[in-house]
C-alpha cells in the first residue's frame, strides 16, 4: 500500500559535507515537480526538537549548488538520542504536517532516523553524506570526492616545497576509523605509502622504501597517514620512521579544510541523484532505507545494514597503491 | 600461449586530456615492478614514424601526476593512416626492440592501433583518454571528469555575473558529436536546460521555461549547449530563443580551457587503474583491446567495438536533468 | 563646513567586478561603527529610479566577502542619463532619507553620479570597480587583480594543450579600449607577445618572434590579444600572423569568465580600504570625488578627472614585457 | 667604474616561495637579452659549496612560471655561515667563471651574501622572496601574495563548516615573528580578530567581541592567530578564550600548504620585475643591495638595512582591521 505523502521534510545532520546543498536542492525540486510541499528543518535533529522549520520553494534552493556546507545548518544532538527527545521530535513533525522525512548525513544520523521511524511511524529516508565515506550501502557518500580533491590540491602544494628542499612530508588526512580518504588521496597524490587503520603499520618496510628512493636519487616523498591509524597520529608515525632512517621531514595535518569548499561535479551530481532518488523512494512506498550509488546505479539499503555491515577498502585499489607506490 | 614481453612502448595520441600523465606514470611503474623496460614514444604516431623514442625510468615519471596535457606530446598523423606509414611504424618498433605498445587516446587512435597490430603482429593495448568521453567500452574516459569540473568552475563564475545583472547565459561546451560533457555540466552546473546532439532542440519549450522562471521572480539562468548541437552552435541557439522571448542574454564559449589543467583525483586514479590494467592485460596475453572502467570495475573491449558500438547518454541522468532543471 | 550625515546609501553600477561585495561590506561596517544607518540600493541606478531600497545591517553583509558579483545587483540605466531621470532619482533619495550616496562602478557611473550631485546637491562618493582597470585616479580598480588571476589560470590550462601539441594559442582577453588586462596577463602568463590598443600591431615582428622561437626548438607559444586591439579581434590577428608564417594555431576567447569568481585577497583588501575610505571621506566633508589607491596610499580624485584624464599603461611594465618575452 | 660582467649566477636560498621561478626566469631572460651567460646554482648555498652549477638557457626556464617552489632547489647551509665555507664558495664561483651572483631569498640569505661579497669581492644582488614578507626594503616579498590567497581560500572552506555548525574557528597562519600574513589574511578572510606578535593579546576584548556577535545572532566566526603570537600558539589562544566564554570551537593550523602552489599573477609580475631589476642593477654597477618594490616602484636597499631596519605593519591596515572586524 502506498502512503499518501503531501509534505516532505528534509534535514542535514552530523558533520557537514560538500554536496549536501545539491541534495537539498534535488529533494526540493523533485518534490515540487510532483506537487509536494517541502519543509526544511534547520540545525539537524537539534532544530527538529525545537521546531525550526522553514518552507522551501524554488528560490530557497537557488544559487546554492556551488556552496560548501549546508544551508540548513547541522548539529549533533545528544537529546535526540533519548526516547523522550525523539517523542518530542515526532510531535514537532506532526504539528508541522510533515508526512515523511529525508535525513542527509552519516550512519549516526541514520541510527537516529531509524529509531524515530520505528517509534513514531513517520517514514524516513536516508542520504549518505560524509567526507569519510564510511557508510555501507554506497560506493561513494556525498562529500568524499570533494574532500579527496581538496586534499590532493594541498598535497600538490606540499610537493612544491618537498621537491625544492628534498624533503619527506608526512600528511595526516581525515577518515575517522577508516582509510577510504587516505587510500584515494594516496593514489591520486602519488604518495610513496599510506598508513590506514585497516592494516598494521610496517615501519621497517616504509624505511626501506625511503632508503631505496634516496638510492634512486629521489629526495622528496609524500606519506599519507589516516587520522585513525593505530600508531596514534602522524607525529607518532614520523617518529617511528625517523628512528629507522635519517631523513629531513615535515609533518602536515590537513584538518578541517578537507570539509569545506565548492563541491566537485561528481558530488553535485551524486547529490542530485540521491536527493531525487530519496523522494522517488518515499513516493514508491519505501522507507527505513538509505539510497546509495553502487556500481554507478541507484540502490536502497535498509537502515540497520548501513551500520551493521562493514564497508571494506576496495582490494583492487589497495593492490594498485602497493604496485605504483614506492 | 603467453608471449614473452621484455619491452613495452607507450604513446599518447589525438587530443590531449588531463590524466594522460597519470596513465603514463602507471604504465611505467607497473612495468618496472615486473622487470620490464619501458620506452616512451614522443609526439604520438608522428613520433613513432620518426623513431622519437625515450627510455623511461622512475625519474621520467616523477612529479608529473598533477600536470595537465601529456609529457610525451601528442599529434594527429595523416601519414600513419596509410599502409605505407604503418609499415614504417612497425619497422621503428622492431628496431627499438618494443614488444608491445600501449596507446592512450580516443577511438581514432584505436583504429590506427588495431590496423597496426593486424598488419605487423605487435600486440597493442588501448587506454581511453578523451575529454569528450565518446568511447564505447568505458563509463569514463580519462580527462572527462576534469573537463566537467573545469566547465562548472567557469559556470560558477558566469553565474556571478548572471545573478548580478539578471541575465541569461548560453554556454557552449565541447563534446564533438555527443552530449556527455553537456549533460554532466548541465546537471552539476544547475543549468535550466541542455541542448545536445542526441535530442532535437525544442526552442518553444526552452522559451516557456524562461518565461516561467521570470514569472517566479528569477532573472538569471544558464543554458548549456553542446558544440555538436544541430542548431549549429551557441549563437544560433541564442538567436532562436531570442526570437521567442525578450531576454537580456550573453553567450560564452568555454573552448580549449576545458582541455587543460591539473587532473582531478578521479582522473588520476582512473589513469592509474587503466595504466596498470593495460600492462597486466598485455602480460596476460591480451591484445587488440581497450581497457576501460564499467560499473567501477576494470574491463577489456576489443578495439573494433570501441568505434562500432555506440555509447549512449545515461537515460537516468537525462531524466534527472529534466526533473531538476527549469 | 561639515554636513551632518545620518544615512548613507550605497549602490553598484555598470559591469560587475569581484570585490564589489567587499566594498559594500566595508561601507556598511564602517558606517555602523560610526553610528550611521546604511541603505542598499538594488540594481544600480535603475533600482534607484524605482526606489528599490534595502536596510543594511551586519547580517546583510555576513558571509559575502568571498562571493563574486554584487549582492545588490547592477545595471546600465539609459533613463538615468536623462535629466528627468535624475530628478526622479534625487526624489527617491530624499524620500528614503539618504543624506549621501556611495557609487561603486566605473567612469560611466561616476559621470552619472557627478551630474546627480550637481543637480540635487546630495553628496556623492565613488569607488572604482571594473576589471578593465581603465579609471584614472587609482592604480588598481576593484576586480582587476581577480580578472588577471582568472585569465592566467585559463592560460596555464591552454599551455598544457599548447605544449602537448606544439601549438600557438592566440588568446583574447577583455579590457575594452585599454590594454591593462592584456599587459599584466601577458607578463604573468609568460606570453610571447601582447597586442593592445595603445600600440600599433607589428605582425612582421610577431612572425619573426615565432620564427626565432621555432628555431630555438620551441613549438608552443601564447600570444595575448586585447579585445580592443585595432586589428579588430583575435581572429584577425591570427589571420595576419598565419599569412606570414606557417604555424599550427588555435584561438581562445576568454570572455565573461574573467568577470566572476571569488575575489583575490588583493581585491578584498582593496574593497575594504576603498569602502571604508569612502565613508571617511564623506564624514570629512568630501564629495564629488572618487577614492582610489595610488602608490599603495588612499587618495581622492575629483569625479571629472576620472574620465577626462587618461590613465596610461605603466611604461616600466611595457618595457619589461618586451625584455622578457619572445 | 662599471665592472665587466660576462656571467651571472643565480641561486635560491632559505624557505621556498611561490614566484621564485618567475624571478629565476626573469634573471635568465634579461641576462640573455644583454648577451650574458647565466649559471644556475642548485640547492642554494649548499650547492654553491659543492659546485652544483647548471648552464641556463631559454629552454631551462620554459614552462616554469606557473610552478610553485624553485626549480633550482634550496637549502639552509650551516657551513656557509663559517668563513671557511664562504672561502670555498668564492673559489667555486671563480672556477665557474661567475662574475656576479643574484641571491633570491630572505634576510638570512642576504646576510650570507653580504659577507661573501665583502670577503671575496664578487658583486651580489638580492631579491626578496619569503612568504612571511618580513624583509625591510620592499612592500612585498615574492610569495607573500600567493600565501595570503592560499590561506583565504582555506578560510573560505573553514567558513563553510563554521557556518553550517555555528562554530568559531581559530586559524593559525605562518609569519614567524611578524604579523604581515595574519593581518592581510584577517582582512581578506573577514576575520573577527587577529592575534599577532606585534601587539599584546587582549583575550577579554576578544571574548567581548564573541559575546556581542552571538548577541547579534551570529554563531560562527574566524579568528586568525599568527604562529609567532606571544600566547605560544593557536591552542593556547583558544584555551584563553574558552576560559572566558563558552563557545563551540575548532582549531586549524594551515601549516606548509601556505608555501606551495602556482604563484598568483602579482607574485609572477613581482618576480619578473625584481629578476630583471637585479640584472639591470648589476650591469649599472650596483651591488651589495637588495632590489625591492616600494610604493609600486623598483628600489634598491643596501643589504645591512634589510635586516637592521624593522619593517612595521601598515598602520592604516591595522586600523582598518579594527574598524571592519568584530
Over its length of 326 residues, how does chain C's per-residue pLDDT go in tens digits? Answer: 456 899 999 999 999 999 999 999 999 999 999 999 999 999 999 999 999 999 999 999 999 999 999 999 999 889 999 999 999 999 999 999 999 999 999 999 999 999 999 999 999 999 999 999 999 999 999 999 999 999 999 999 999 999 999 999 999 999 999 999 999 999 999 999 999 999 999 999 999 999 998 888 777 999 999 999 999 999 999 999 999 999 999 999 999 999 999 999 999 999 999 999 999 999 999 999 999 999 999 999 999 999 999 999 999 999 999 999 86
D65 and C190 within 8 Å at the Cβ level: the answer is yes
Question: Scanning every residue of chain D, which has its alpha carbon at the shortest distance from the alpha carbon of A155?
Answer: D257
Sheet containing B37-41: order of strands: B53-56, B37-41, B7-12, B100-105, B124-128, B289-294, B297-302
- A226: β partners: A173
Q: Which fold has domain A144-260?
A: Rossmann fold (3.40.50)
Which chains have 3+ CB pairs within 8 A of A?
B, D
- Please tell me the predicted confidence (pLDDT) of residue C217: 77
Pinpoint the alpha helices (H) of chain C.
20-33, 44-50, 83-95, 107-120, 144-165, 180-188, 203-215, 234-244, 265-283, 303-308, 315-324
Active-site residue among A16, A91, A99, A132?
Answer: A132
Question: In sequence order, what are the residues at sequence separation of 6 or more whose Cβ sits closer than 8 angstroms to the Cβ of residue D68?
Answer: A157, A160, A161, D16, D18, D21, D146, D259, D260, D261, D262, D263
Nearest to D11 by CA among D58, D47, D37: D47
**D218 near C CB under 8 A:** yes
Which chains have 3+ CB pairs within 8 A of D?
A, C
**Cell representation of residue B247:** 531576454
Of the partner residues B62, B156, B269, the one whose CB lies closest to the CB of residue A184: B269
Which residues of chain A are within 8 Å of residue B217 when distances are taken between CB atoms? 59
How many CB atoms within 10 Å of residue D118?
12
Coil vs helix vs strand at C104: strand
**C286 near D CB under 8 A:** no
B260 and C157 within 8 Å at the Cβ level: the answer is yes
- Please tell me the predicted confidence (pLDDT) of residue A326: 67
- Please tell me the predicted confidence (pLDDT) of residue D326: 67
User: Which of A169, A188, A314 is most worth mutating to test chain B (most B CB atoms within 10 A of its CB)?
Assistant: A188
**A37 near B CB under 8 A:** no
Domain boundaries, chain D: 7-143+263-308, 144-259
Q: Is the pLDDT assigned to residue B74 strictly greater than 70?
A: yes
**D154 near A CB under 8 A:** yes
- Please tell me the predicted confidence (pLDDT) of residue A2: 53
How many Å apart are CA C127 and CA C104, to the nearest integer?
5
Sheet containing D124-128: order of strands: D53-56, D37-41, D7-12, D100-105, D124-128, D289-294, D297-302
From the CA of B17, how many Å to the nearest CA of chain C? 8
pLDDT in tens, A250-285: 999 999 999 999 999 999 999 999 999 999 999 999
Q: Which fold has domain D7-143+263-308?
A: Rossmann fold (3.40.50)
C323 and D33 within 8 Å at the Cβ level: the answer is yes
**C262 near D CB under 8 A:** yes
**Cell representation of residue C206:** 610577431
C253 and B257 within 8 Å at the Cβ level: the answer is no
Of the partner residues B26, B63, B188, the one whose CB lies closest to the CB of residue A163: B63
- Please tell me the predicted confidence (pLDDT) of residue A325: 86
**A167 near D CB under 8 A:** no
Identical fold, B7-143+263-308 and B145-260: yes
Range A94-110 average pLDDT:
97
Domain B145-260 CATH (choose: 3.40.50.1000, 3.40.50.460, 3.40.50.1820, 3.90.1150.10): 3.40.50.460
Active-site residue among D99, D132, D145, D267?
Answer: D132
pLDDT in tens, C142-156: 999 999 999 999 999
Range B71-86 average pLDDT:
93
A259 and D161 within 8 Å at the Cβ level: the answer is yes
Of the partner residues B68, B156, B158, the one whose CB lies closest to the CB of residue C157: B68
- Please tell me the predicted confidence (pLDDT) of residue D325: 86
- Please tell me the predicted confidence (pLDDT) of residue D222: 96
- Please tell me the predicted confidence (pLDDT) of residue C1: 43
C160 and B256 within 8 Å at the Cβ level: the answer is no
With bands split at pLDDT 50, 70 and 90, how would you rate the model's confidence at A1? Answer: very low
pLDDT in tens, A34-90: 999 999 999 999 999 999 999 999 999 999 999 999 999 999 889 999 999 999 999
How many Å apart are CA D230 and CA D257, to the nearest integer?
23
pLDDT 10s digit of each residue in chain D, 326 long? Answer: 456 899 999 999 999 999 999 999 999 999 999 999 999 999 999 999 999 999 999 999 999 999 999 999 999 889 999 999 999 999 999 999 999 999 999 999 999 999 999 999 999 999 999 999 999 999 999 999 999 999 999 999 999 999 999 999 999 999 999 999 999 999 999 999 999 999 999 999 999 999 998 888 777 899 999 999 999 999 999 999 999 999 999 999 999 999 999 999 999 999 999 999 999 999 999 999 999 999 999 999 999 999 999 999 999 999 999 999 86
Domain A7-142+263-308 of CATH type 3.40.50.450 = yes
CB of D133 closer than 8 Å to CB of D258: no
**C218 near B CB under 8 A:** no
Coil vs helix vs strand at C289: strand
Of the partner residues D73, D156, D257, the one whose CB lies closest to the CB of residue A158: D257
Range B121-135 average pLDDT:
97
A68 and D18 within 8 Å at the Cβ level: the answer is no
The one-character DSSP state at A257 is G
Which residues of chain A are within 8 Å of residue B29 when distances are taken between CB atoms? 323-324
C261 and B160 within 8 Å at the Cβ level: the answer is yes
- Please tell me the predicted confidence (pLDDT) of residue B1: 43
From the CA of B82, how many Å to the nearest CA of chain A? 37
**A324 near B CB under 8 A:** yes
Domain D144-259 CATH (choose: 3.40.50.300, 3.40.50.460, 3.40.50.720, 3.40.640.10): 3.40.50.460
pLDDT in tens, C221-254: 999 999 999 999 999 999 999 999 999 999 999 9
- Please tell me the predicted confidence (pLDDT) of residue B8: 98
Angle between helices B144-165 and A265-283 (to 10 degrees): 80
How many CB atoms within 10 Å of residue A247?
17
Handedness of CA A319, A321, A325, B2 (dihedral sign): positive
pLDDT in tens, B215-248: 887 778 999 999 999 999 999 999 999 999 999 9
Q: Is B121 exposed, middle or buried (0-12, 13-18, 19+ CB in 10 A)?
A: exposed
How many Å apart are CA B66 and CA C163, to the nearest integer?
15
- Please tell me the predicted confidence (pLDDT) of residue A222: 96
CB of D179 closer than 8 Å to CB of D194: yes
Query: What own/partner pairs with CB < 8 Å and gap ≥ 24 does C308-313 have?
Result: C308/C136, C309/C136, C309/C137, C310/C136, C311/C133, C311/C134, C311/C135, C311/C136, C311/C137, C311/C178, C311/C180, C312/C198, C313/C178, C313/C179, C313/C180, C313/C183, C313/C196, C313/C198
- C291: β partners: C300
Characterize B240-251 residue by residue with b for buried, 16 or more Cβ atoms within 10 angstroms of its Cβ, and e for exposed: bbbeebebebbb
Task: Please tell me the CATH code under which domain C147-259 is placed.
Answer: 3.40.50.460
**Cell representation of residue B225:** 549547449
From the CA of D156, how many Å to the nearest CA of chain A? 7
C187 and D33 within 8 Å at the Cβ level: the answer is no
Range B245-271 average pLDDT:
96
Question: Scanning every residue of chain D, which has its alpha carbon at the shortest distance from the alpha carbon of A220?
Answer: D73
D73 and A164 within 8 Å at the Cβ level: the answer is yes
**D139 near C CB under 8 A:** yes
Amino acid at each position: 500500500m502506498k502512503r499518501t505523502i503531501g509534505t516532505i521534510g528534509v534535514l542535514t545532520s552530523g558533520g557537514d559535507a560538500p554536496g549536501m546543498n545539491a541534495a537539498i536542492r534535488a529533494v526540493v525540486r523533485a518534490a515540487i515537480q510532483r506537487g509536494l510541499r517541502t519543509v526544511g528543518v534547520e540545525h539537524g535533529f537539534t532544530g527538529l526538537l525545537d521546531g525550526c522549520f522553514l518552507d522551501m520553494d524554488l528560490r530557497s534552493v537557488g544559487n546554492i549548488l556551488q556552496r560548501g556546507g549546508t544551508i540548513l545548518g547541522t548539529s549533533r544532538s545528544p537529546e535526540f538520542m533519548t526516547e523522550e527527545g525523539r517523542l518530542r521530535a515526532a510531535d514537532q513533525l506532526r504539528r508541522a504536517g510533515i508526512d515523511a522525512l529525508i535525513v542527509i548525513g552519516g550512519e549516526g544520523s541514520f541510527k537516529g532516523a531509524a529509531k524515530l521511524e520505528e517509534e513514531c511511524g513517520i517514514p524516513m529516508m536516508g542520504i549518505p553524506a560524509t567526507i569519510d565515506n564510511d557508510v555501507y550501502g554506497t560506493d561513494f557518500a556525498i562529500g568524499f570526492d570533494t574532500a579527496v580533491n581538496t586534499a590532493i590540491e594541498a598535497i600538490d602544494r606540499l610537493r612544491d616545497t618537498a621537491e625544492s628542499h628534498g624533503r619527506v612530508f608526512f600528511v595526516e588526512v581525515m577518515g575517522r576509523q577508516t582509510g577510504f580518504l587516505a587510500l584515494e588521496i594516496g593514489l591520486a597524490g602519488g604518495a610513496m605509502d599510506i598508513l590506514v587503520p585497516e592494516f598494521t603499520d610496517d615501519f621497517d618496510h616504509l624505511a626501506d622504501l625511503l632508503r631505496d628512493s634516496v638510492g634512486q636519487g629521489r629526495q622528496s616523498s609524500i606519506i599519507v597517514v589516516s587520522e585513525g591509524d593505530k600508531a596514534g597520529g602522524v607525529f607518532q608515525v614520523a617518529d617511528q620512521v625517523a628512528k629507522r632512517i635519517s631523513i629531513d621531514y615535515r609533518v602536515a595535518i590537513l584538518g578541517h579544510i578537507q570539509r569545506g569548499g565548492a563541491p566537485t561535479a561528481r558530488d553535485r551530481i551524486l547529490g542530485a541523484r540521491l536527493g531525487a532518488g530519496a523522494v522517488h523512494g518515499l513516493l514508491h512506498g519505501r522507507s527505513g532505507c538509505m539510497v546509495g550509488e553502487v556500481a554507478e546505479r541507484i540502490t536502497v539499503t535498509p537502515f540497520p545494514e548501513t551500520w551493521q555491515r562493514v564497508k571494506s577498502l576496495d582490494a583492487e585499489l589497495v593492490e594498485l597503491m602497493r604496485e605504483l607506490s614506492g
